[in-house]
Amino acid sequence: MTIHYPNGKQYSMPSRNAYPKKSAIVHHSIFGKRGMTLEQEINESNAYYLAHDIAVIHKKPTPIQLVKVDYPKRSAAVIREAYFRKPSTTDYNGIYHGYYLDFDAKETNNKLSFPLKNFHEHQIKHLRACIKQSGVCFAFVKFSKLDRLFLLPATKLFFYWDQQLQGGRKSIPLKNIEQDSYEINYGFNPTIPYLDAVDKMINDFGV
């Protein structure tokens, strides 16, 4: 696809369909090159699921503490002083086929284990509260350097979290994550077909 700009220059936009349809691994490395963050990958996948009436999942906006807002005449309000507040929940929630989904997404540059410090007490607390209400709760755990993405059920996360609180190790070894999670292979549409993993999780856990 070629766009002609007014200045006469041409810009070639990378088209998804232009890529040859090879194996998932090829797609994977292509996406790795594109340099999307995990958040972008999830947002893009959610947009796909929404557009196709498959699920309604959104990222929650970051909470802001407003201090000073200007209201100029005939134009939009301008926030002139504000601070980031700590969220009291996870970043994502929504509905899929009658199920309430709730999750957070974390990345690490480590190659052998996933540091638990990526998670925060309020997120764990929130996930526990949602589990009590029969929600489908999990965390995306991505090893960026390995280009590997896992969906880790919240109950498994709690296990390692609680171990840590009792003086256990401060990270989850990759081999444990391989055992306890559903690995997600990158795709085209959606980028992360994570609802397949959610289906398996619902099936295994009988939520």
Q: At what angle do helices 154-165 and 121-132 cross, to 10 degrees?
A: 130
What residue spans of the chain are helical by DSSP H?
Answer: 24-34, 38-51, 121-132, 154-165, 174-180, 194-205
Beta bridge partners of 108: 143
Q: Give 128 or 156: the residue with its C-beta nearer to its own copies.
A: 128
Residue type, 161: W
Q: How far apart are CA 74 and CA 29, in angstroms?
A: 48
Question: Hey, what are 163's tokens?
Answer: 């171990």
Residues in region 113-172 near its own copies by CB under 8 A: 126, 129-130, 132-135
Which residue number, 77 or 112, has a Cβ lying nearer to its own copies? 77
Q: Is 162 annotated as a binding residue?
A: no
Contact call for residue 98 and its own copies (CB under 8 A): yes
In the chain, the N- to C-terminal Cα span, in Å, equals: 45
Among 25, 26, 78, 112, binds its own copies (CB under 8 A): 78
Q: How far is the CB of 53 from its own copies (least distance, A)?
A: 6
Measured CA distances, 102 to 46, 69, 124, 131, 137 (Å) = 13, 32, 11, 9, 5
Residues 52-71 that bind its own copies (CB under 8 A): 53, 55-56, 58, 60-64
Q: Per rule CB under 8 A, is residue 40 in the interface with its own copies? A: no
Number of residues that bind its own copies (CB under 8 A): 38
**82 binds its own copies per the rule CB under 8 A:** yes
37 annotated ligand-binding residue: no
- The answer to whether 102 and 135 are in contact (CB under 8 A) is yes
Question: Which residues are at the interface with its own copies (CB under 8 A)?
Answer: 50, 53, 55-56, 58, 60-64, 76-84, 87-89, 93-100, 102, 126, 129-130, 132-135
Binding residues for Mg(2+) are 89, 91, 104, 123
